[in-house]
Structure 1
Amino acid sequence: MLTAQNISYYKDFDKNLNIETIDNVEFKTYKKTINDGLNTFNYWFKIDDFKSKNNYIQFKNAHITNAIAYQSNLPIKTEEFERHTTFKITNPETVYIKVNITKEAYIPIKVSTTTNFQYNEKKQILFTGFYYGFALVILLINLFYFLNFRDYTFLYYSCFLLTITIALFISDGLLNLLGVTQTMIDFIETSDHFLVSVTALIFATSYLQIENYYPKLKYLSLVLVIIIGILSVCYVANFNFKYFIYLETLVFIVCLIYIIAAGFLFKRNNFSKIFLLAYSFILVLGFCYYVSKLYGFSICEITSNQVKIGGIIEMLVLSYAVVYRTKALKIENKEIRNAIVNYIKEINELSKTVNKQTVKKTIKNRKTLLSFRETEIMQLIAKGQTNKEIALTLHISENTVKYHVKNIYTKLNIKSRKEIPVIINK
């Protein structure tokens, strides 16, 4: 809520104005949030006609860290341990603020009375605490599922969720609130956004079983992640913000690649459809909240709270999707296992009525079509082991077990599960 009727600004392209000369320029009325992209020059703000004596002026962008306010030509110190750059005003005289932009020129200003400021901050901290508490619960639930089902997809999603949560934690200015230095914040933010791309790649690859459908896609993603890593190192080395913009764009592209892959897999299974819905939703919010501001345009104005609400929906949908996927795969694996066991019984019955030599010759011919690993899996299935037990015995994942079973279909050109040729060591 604005408590000053007149807020105006001036762009100091040459960075040569000071508090003594700023009155000689013509200010423009501040009508909406400034969103100029990568424009690294000074912005001067003039705020007057306050409606009360005690007020707060806050720039709600964690990347705005270099600002100084003046009142009666005297500097005003920024408030310590605030989430964003904040000034406390104790008299209604005109205030001038110089903002030195070193990152994106996205400058939202909030002017409010002391009472309103304190109330809104408490309300915001309460909602923020609820969001991070909810994210922690979802993370722990997924870790529990991982320990219970031994499905690494739950672990990968937990890591992905953690990196996304840390990114929001930083953009909320909570590291500023904790007194962390700006250099350390930049390092943590860059490292975390790199890890977002890594965890997004690993989670999406595992969840969508990309290896089974588009095995070469991992090479493209890996190249992009390596480039993101190089850009991260370059940015931390000299803090040239252009490197940060490039890496943010590539992080978005990595996530977009798997959205497209999920679209191609849309008709193959239901859990790909759920992934496409949830991933697309959070990707659009992330683009509007992070990426578009770096380039100085905005499809729609997205607030931190709206991103959090979207994040809660995404957590619920994706967590359900991972559980649904695990159950669907278990049902499918059980059906395949039962069909194989039944077929083994049929083979045993058949062997009693046909020439043993013919059976041995048939088995030998079929055996040459299958790999050693596939033969091992067939033998363990014949012993009554579940896919989970087979995975533990052979030290591979359940998805790998399923992958080998499907290879048998392809190699032997089987149309029905009852026709699966099972190779048993004899």
Structure 2
Amino acid sequence: MKAIYLSVLLLFCASLFAQNSIQYVKDTHLNFKIEETKGVDFKPFTNSNFGLENGVYWFKINSQTNNEGVIHIPSAHVNDIKLFSASKKQIEEISYTRYPSFRLDEFEEFPIYLYVNFEKEAYFPLQITSEENFAKANQQSLFKIGAYYGFAIMVIIINLMCFFLFDEKVFLYYSAVLTTITLSFFYSDGLFRLMGYDNTFTNMYLEPLLHLSVALFAAHFATKFLKLDDLMPKLKWLTAALISTSVISFSSYWVTENWLFAAIGNTFIWVVLVNYLIAGATLFRQKVYARFYVVAYSLLLILIFDYYVLTGFGITFLGVSAFHLKTAGILEMLVLTYAIMYRMRTLKEENELMQIEMRLYLKRIELLRSPDNIQMVDDLYLENLVNLHDLSNLETKILQFISKGKDNAKIALKLNISEKEVEKITKALYKKLDISEHIQEDQRMIDEQPDYVYN
């Protein structure tokens, strides 16, 4: 029992020491100078996220177990940072790293001071570790992100190949979504900084522009994938309003440099994505591929909300990391790539069913126009349809081929157009001729017949 109490006491003392070993002060009036550290009221650093309270902060690191090590700040939003030794000399930053890092030698005296100007949210995940552990962790991290980007690029290439092979634009739209998401992760992983693109544009403008691109491409992809142009035509206007509001918010951030506007912009972008998730949920029972869409995006959007939205407001909820996001992203890629293939097959089957119903409808018209079973001139029964529905020459030819039972491949070959174009025109003809309504009318007539007719 004494051993347990002693362990608890040691842990408590260790936590107190950890809290007191790093202290901070916010330089609200920008009057703090490294030469004037005495008498400054530093507070214990207990929370790494100050949220919207961005600005200039000074951190005082009093001591550590092993002087030789690395100070590391794994955040792409921390750019303006300086480290000063106990003798008030500036310590050079380690070059060619993804995030700001500083090396301490074994003779370094404490306390040392960190100057940080938080231009975005005041999130400061400060880490002090040995050089060996830093190198090991960095190597493991690079391996993980390399595996993710390799997989993401492979999926993008596969979708582009499917676009060219099957002439299905949804593959192209999804490739655009994946590309913008991958570039967003590329930024948050500090890879632009590693490549030397550490300037005002990348620090201030790039991330909001990437987030806007994700919203635009994701909305367009969802619209085409779920066929929302026909089912929910007003949704695009809501999306336009939300994205416009987000653009205004980001523009306000660029002008005022107030992170609150950027946080609001990210929130509206998330709302755009959620709207399409809700749209998919409303089609959950009707369309199988809508179920794939909902399953693929549900977890990812929850994690995005915590990582991009809540953190921007200084709220820590699930503690989501970039690794969690990428894991969910890989699952989303696998599910949606399969879902697009499944959707393509389903739409092909629906198109074939439309053609069957159109042939039945045309056959019925033919029989009605020849009650005495007199042989009619080929395609004569199509004349009324052409005149009544103002069919184009191409639509008329496709209708003729459909009436003769030709499949899409043969129709496309005969007319020198793509199968995709045949499917598109078939769908348009199906709507123009009100085939669905006629089929339902025939079914109602059958249902209304007295039982003795069939006895």
Q: Same fold (TM over 0.5)?
A: yes
Q: Which one of 81, 85, 99 corresponds to residue 71 of structure 1?
A: 85
* 1:103 Cα offset (Å): 0.9
1:121 has 2:138 as partner? yes
More deviation in 61-70 or 179-188? Answer: 179-188
Q: 1:343 to 1:411 in 2, by over 3 A?
A: closer
SS of 1:200's partner is: helix
More deviation in 57-66 or 246-255? Answer: 246-255
Contact 1:14 1:41 in 2 (8 A): no
Q: Which runs of 5+ in 2 are unaligned?
A: 1-13, 445-455
Q: Which one of 312, 315, 320 corresponds to residue 333 of structure 2?
A: 315
* 1:118 Cα offset (Å): 0.5
The match for 2:400 is 379
Q: Which one of 148, 166, 180 corresponds to residue 165 of structure 2?
A: 148
The match for 2:347 is 329
Amino acid at match of 1:286: I
TM-score normalized with structure 2 length: 0.81
Q: In 1, Cα distance between the equivalents of 2:248 and 2:24?
A: 38
Q: Which one of 279, 285, 303 corresponds to residue 267 of structure 1?
A: 285
1:103 has 2:124 as partner? no
Amino acid at match of 1:213: L
* 1:317 Cα offset (Å): 1.0
The structure that has the greater radius of gyration is 2
More deviation in 156-165 or 378-387? Answer: 378-387
Q: 1:417 to 1:138 in 2, by over 3 A?
A: farther
Q: How does 1:386-397 map to 2 (within 5 A)?
A: 386=408, 389=412, 392=417, 396=421
RMSD: 3.3
Q: Which runs of 5+ in 1 are unaligned?
A: 420-426
The match for 2:227 is 209
Per-residue deviation, residues 59-82 of structure 1 (Å, max 9, x unmatched):
111111111111122211222221
* 1:356 Cα offset (Å): 6.6
1:54 has 2:71 as partner? no
Q: Which one of 31, 51, 56 corresponds to residue 37 of structure 1?
A: 51
Per-residue deviation, residues 283-309 of structure 1 (Å, max 9, x unmatched):
111111111111111321011111111
Q: In 2, Cα distance between the equivalents of 1:255 and 1:179?
A: 32
Q: Which one of 257, 262, 269 corresponds to residue 244 of structure 1?
A: 262
SS of 1:106's partner is: coil
Q: Which one of 147, 162, 166 corresponds to residue 183 of structure 2?
A: 166
Q: In 1, Cα distance between the equivalents of 2:397 and 2:442?
A: 19
Q: 1:339 to 1:316 in 2, by over 3 A?
A: same
Q: 1:17 to 1:239 in 2, by over 3 A?
A: closer
Q: 1:86 to 1:407 in 2, by over 3 A?
A: farther
Amino acid at match of 1:386: N
Amino acid at match of 1:47: I
Q: How does 1:329-408 map to 2 (within 5 A)?
A: 329-341=347-359, 344=362, 353-354=371-372, 370=389, 372=391, 377-382=398-403, 384-386=406-408, 389=412, 392=417, 396=421, 398=423, 401-402=426-427, 404-406=429-431, 408=433
Q: 1:361 to 1:177 in 2, by over 3 A?
A: closer
SS of 2:34's partner is: coil
Per-residue deviation, residues 66-103 of structure 1 (Å, max 9, x unmatched):
11111122211222221111111113522211211111
1:80 has 2:80 as partner? no
Identity %: 32
Q: 1:399 to 1:284 in 2, by over 3 A?
A: farther
TM-score normalized with structure 1 length: 0.86
Contact 1:58 1:85 in 2 (8 A): yes
Per-residue deviation, residues 161-201 of structure 1 (Å, max 9, x unmatched):
10000000001110010111321313332322221111011
* 1:256 Cα offset (Å): 1.4
Per-residue deviation, residues 335-394 of structure 1 (Å, max 9, x unmatched):
222343355456556665537799999867666664536656533523525189389469
Q: In 2, Cα distance between the equivalents of 1:291 and 1:276?
A: 20
Q: In 2, Cα distance between the equivalents of 1:376 and 1:11?
A: 76
The match for 2:4 is none
Q: 1:377 to 1:104 in 2, by over 3 A?
A: farther
Q: 1:345 to 1:400 in 2, by over 3 A?
A: closer
Q: 1:402 to 1:244 in 2, by over 3 A?
A: same
* 1:28 Cα offset (Å): 3.2
